[in-house]
Every structure is written in structure tokens, then in C-alpha cells.
Chain A
Amino acid sequence: MRIVVAYKWTCDPEEATVRADGTVDWSRAKPGLSTYDPVAMELARRLAEETGAELIGATVGAKGVGAPIASKAALGRGLDRVVIVEDESLREAGRSELAAVVAEAIRHIGDVDLVITGDSSVDVAAKMVPTVLAGELGWPAVAEVTAVTGQDGTLRVERAIPGGVQVLEISGPAVLAASADAAVPRVPGMKELLAAAKKPVELLDLTALKVPPGSAVMTVTGRARPERKARKGQLINTADPAAAAAELVAALRAAGAL
């Protein structure tokens, strides 16, 4: 079995600062694995330990994603090898364009049975790449995955749905997006990190890949802050706790919150 984990090497917005003019200063933000990608790697690793599958990392992006430290960070989390497409032209690429490149990298790897991704990237958080990637590959996409196990060529997938857990059986390749809290990624051991430098890294040339134009082009055309409702500012006198509780419940019911 061959599993690909698609991951992102990027900066955490928490480390960026906003200048007085509203622009973002990323200069002090150190790049790393996108926050939820280690969760995807953990799910993939558990499945690989169960089935003996080969674990391959795939990442695409602008200059920097192919830096040795980026590969070592991924390989130190249990991947057997990584495949990278690093091209400066991808710096301003949209989600659908990036997904198309990832799809081509997966075709290059060949005989892939499963792709696992993180819930979303820490910097953009579009939640688009897993589904667009699945579309490019012609495979089903399953989001909010909390567990995946393998049984005789069939995958058993659990996903979180409102009010419970849904269980799917999937035969055939698929793209699974791991829920952000699906697993606590294991801390890499020191030996794993030191051995990472010895594992294979394959750099693919974007032009040579000949990525076909995406079947659909999606562009983010706008963003808006959520509308902030005016606070009611209703004060409840708590001198009598029982009366205060009743008044609070009534107010919440009136507001439709209960």
C-alpha cells in the first residue's frame, strides 16, 4: 500500500505582526510544518504501522519548501521519503492551481492508494485544497476524518459529524482530510530526527511536470469580517442567585441562544 501525505511548509500567522498601515510583516515568522499537517502524518503513520504501507510526503510551493530543514521536519515524523515541487512561480498561486500541481506530483509518484492531508493550512485556512485535489485525481474526498484503518484492501474511515461519528468503508483510492483534533501527533524522537537527513528527497521540476490546466479555476475574490452584532449590555442582578439564574435563562431563550 502506498500512502501520500500532502503537507505545507509555511509561516504561522501568530508570529507575524500587523504594521500600522495594515500590511503584514512576516519577517520574524519562522517557517515550519503547517500546524495541522502533523495530525495528518500521525493518522497516516498509524495506518502504515498497521498495514506496512510506504509513507511518502508531497509538498509544493515557492522557494523555501525544498529547504533541507523542511524535508527533515517532515521525514522526522515517520515519512519514508518526500517529493517536492519548488518553484517561485507558485508563490502567488491560488488553491486550485496548487492542488493541480499536487495532483501531478501524485501521478508522478504512481500507484498511490490514499492521500491524507491536514484539515487546512495554518496561514490561508481555505479548506479547499483537499477537495480540489480529489477532483483533479477523480477520487472521492472525505473531510473531518478522525481515524483510518486498513482491512484487506478496504479502508475503514471514521469522521466526525454533528452529534456523532460516521463510519465509512472505502475501497479504491481517496483523499482524506484529517480533522484538526483527530490525533495528538507523537513527538519525534531524537534518533528519528537525526536519521531524517539520510532519507530520500526527490525534487521535481514544475515545467517538466507539465501540469495540465485545472478542470476549474477558482479564485478568492473577496474576504469580509463577520458582522459584529451590537452587545445588548443587559445586566443581571446577582444578589439572589436563583432569581438571577432564572432571569439569565429567560434572556437567553428570548435571544434564541437556548
Chain B
Amino acid sequence: MDFELTDEQQLIREAVREFAQTEVAPIAAELDRDHRFPYELVPRMAELNIMGMPYPEKFGGAGADNLSYVIAAEELARACATTSVILLAHASLATFPVYKFGTDAQQERYLHDMASGRRLGAFALTEPGAGTDAGAGTTTATLKGDQYVLNGSKIFITNAPFAEIYIVLAKTDPAQGTRGMSAFIVEKDTPGFSVGEAEHKLGIRGSSTPPLYFADCHIPQDALLGGEGDGFKIAMQTLDGGRIGIAAQAVGIAQAALDASVAYAKERVQFGKPIATLQAIQWMIADMATQLDAARLLTYRAAWCEDNGRPYGTEGAMAKLFASETATRVCDRAIQIHGGYGYTESYPVERNYRDAKITELYEGTSEVQRMVIARSYLR
């Protein structure tokens, strides 16, 4: 078993780290404090071919493997969790369905713009009454002539209203439950489609997550992605890959917290010596580093499975479950190591702590991940 990254993966890590540390990290605290969406970073990431990394060059992507993409997400999250989720929601959730399920015409119309990063995407599944129970959505899409008419609402939609292309899940046959769900490509500014006010959140505060409203929103019939009734399957397959990216985000956040803790422990002097000489701190660092490494290995393994044509649903769920809970734990310990200073905005660990929690919640809560894993073992 070879644990070495390829030359390309190593060089990609270094390049994204260089970008993240010089252009993203310096504004991370400001984005968080001001709840500001970093609109200037999207074209910059597009310029570096990061926005559509895992998609083929012929579609405008970089043609990188999934492991390289996951490494990029990790390095971005290490600098700024907000910036990493903008990429992940765009590339994993919005672009993937068009790549995997789009017709030639849909790919021609949207995929190049999305994979190149020229147009930002968003994925709209969650509703006020349908979170973990994603199949319980009540947004409908009714075929009238040669158009579908959307009615309903979505919440917590990452990248709205900056996104131009939305993958919207809606029921074409509500009586069929999950089998009656379909997926649609909806463009911003379509009449009847509006975006509400962004949520004020505990963390990833620069990530914009407002509700969407559909009131007799007419879209062309060829906006249907896949066939009628394919929506739930499209959503679940999309989330299978998406959660590997969230695992990487969690790893990046935890790494930032660990880096800060190591630096602080070496500098902070109490009882006449750095606290890094105290066994209590040493054991905390050891546990944080070990769990983080395990999280990283699970994440890379899941990406490797995807790259090598192996099933990755369970592996992705394991990675996301472990990495997200590890991130919360590591960030908690990071504040503990920093003591009172860790509780202030003067040090970044309080932001890491607030950012980490979302990784246990979105793209399937930890409970959902446990369901996925258990099902694969107990069927």
C-alpha cells in the first residue's frame, strides 16, 4: 500500500496552500466578523482552475482526480472554512449533477461555465420541513404544456443569491414520495424565483445561506435533469460525493486549530516555562494530531475509492462522520489549550470552533451518516 501522494497531488497541495495562505487567510477573520461573502475569491479560484477541478478539461474543468480536489478543499478550509464551502457546494453539489446526469444540450449550456467557474452554482434540496427527511419536501413542479411550474421554498441554500445556476429538487408526483421527486436546472432571475434574506449562523458566516422561494416559477421542460422521478437518486448520489468534500473541510478546520494550538503552546509561558513542556498539554496535542491524521486518512481513502471506480458511499459516510466529529473535538481542545485567550476573537481558534460544528450537520447529519454505514453492514 502506497501512502505517498503523487507528484501532481503534492504540487497541487503546495499551490493551493500558497493561494490559501496568501490570499484567503488574511481576510478570513474579516469575512467571519462581517458575515461577508468573498465574491472576489470566486473568479480568482476560477483563474487557478480550482472551481471545477475534478471535471474533464473538455468541459472546462482542470481534469484533476478527486483526491487532488479534496486536498484543495482541505487547504482552503485550513485558511477559511467559508471559502472552502463555496467551492464544495459549487463543484460537488451543483456541477456534479449536470456532469453526471445532464443531456448533451444541458452540458453544452451549463457545464463549461460551471466547471470553469465562470458561473457559480448552488444545490437546493433542503426545505423547512425536509432536512434529514429529504424525501418529505413539498416543493412541486407541475408540467403545464411545455413548461414546468415550480411552487414552494427551500432553506439554507449555500451560495445563493450569488449563484447563477441552481439545481432544484421538486416533486413532479407528490403521491409517490421520494420516487416522485425530480431535479431541475433553474437560472437566477427566472420570474417567480426569488431569494430571501441570508441566515445569521454560528459559523461559516461568510457563506451565504438564504431561503429560496418559488411562486408560479415557469421553467422550460428541458430544464429537467435526468427523468421524472430521478430526483431523489440524483440527490443521494450527489451527496455521496459531496460528503467526502465536507470531510476534507473538517480536516482543514481541525488542522488550522491544531497548528494554532502547537504555536501557542510553544509561546505561552506559565510557571516559568512554555506550556508545551506540560504533560497535560502534550497529551492533548497528541490526541488531536492522531485523530486528525485518522480523519485525513479516511477522507483520502474515500476519495481514492471514487477515483478508482470502487463503491464509496459507506467510505464517504465514515470519512464525513469521523472527520466532522474530530473537528469539533479538536477545536474544543484548541480553545482549552489557549485558555481564556482562546475564548476571544484575538485568536482564530474560536472561529475554528464555530466553523467546525456545521460539518456535523450539513450534507447529511452525523445521524444520517450512521444510518448509511449501519445499513451497509446490516443488510
Contacts and interface: CB of A to CB of B under 8 A. Distances in A.
B18 interface: yes
Given A189-B62, A191-B57, A193-B15, 17 more contacts: A32-B14, A68-B7, A69-B10, A69-B11, A72-B8, A73-B11, A76-B11, A187-B15, A187-B18, A187-B23, A188-B48, A189-B15, A190-B72, A191-B49, A193-B8, A194-B62, A196-B11
B48 A187 contact: yes
A196 B64 CA distance: 13
A193 B49 CA distance: 10
Interface residues of B, number: 22
A190 B47 contact: no
Interface residues of A, number: 15
Contacts of B18: 187
A72 B7 contact: yes
B49 A189 contact: yes
A193 B17 CA distance: 14
Nearest to A70: B7
Interface of B: 7-8, 10-12, 14-15, 18-19, 22-23, 47-50, 53, 57, 62-64, 68, 72
A128 interface: no
B7 A190 contact: no
Contacts of B63: 191, 194
Contacts of A193: 8, 11-12, 15
A197 interface: yes
B219 to A, nearest CB: 33
Interface string A150-191: 000000000000000000000000000000000000011111
Given A194-B62, A194-B64, A188 B15 contact: yes
Q: Is chain A's binding surface mostly helix, strand, loop or mixed? A: helix
A190 B48 contact: yes
Contact of A190 (B10, B23, B62): B62
The 8 closest A-B pairs by CB, nearest first: A190-B62, A190-B49, A69-B7, A187-B19, A188-B15, A189-B48, A191-B49, A189-B49
A188 B22 CA distance: 13
Given A69-B7, A69-B10, A197-B8, A190 B57 contact: no
Nearest to B69: A190
Nearest to B20: A187
A188 B68 CA distance: 14
Interface string A63-83: 000001100110010000000
A194 B48 contact: no
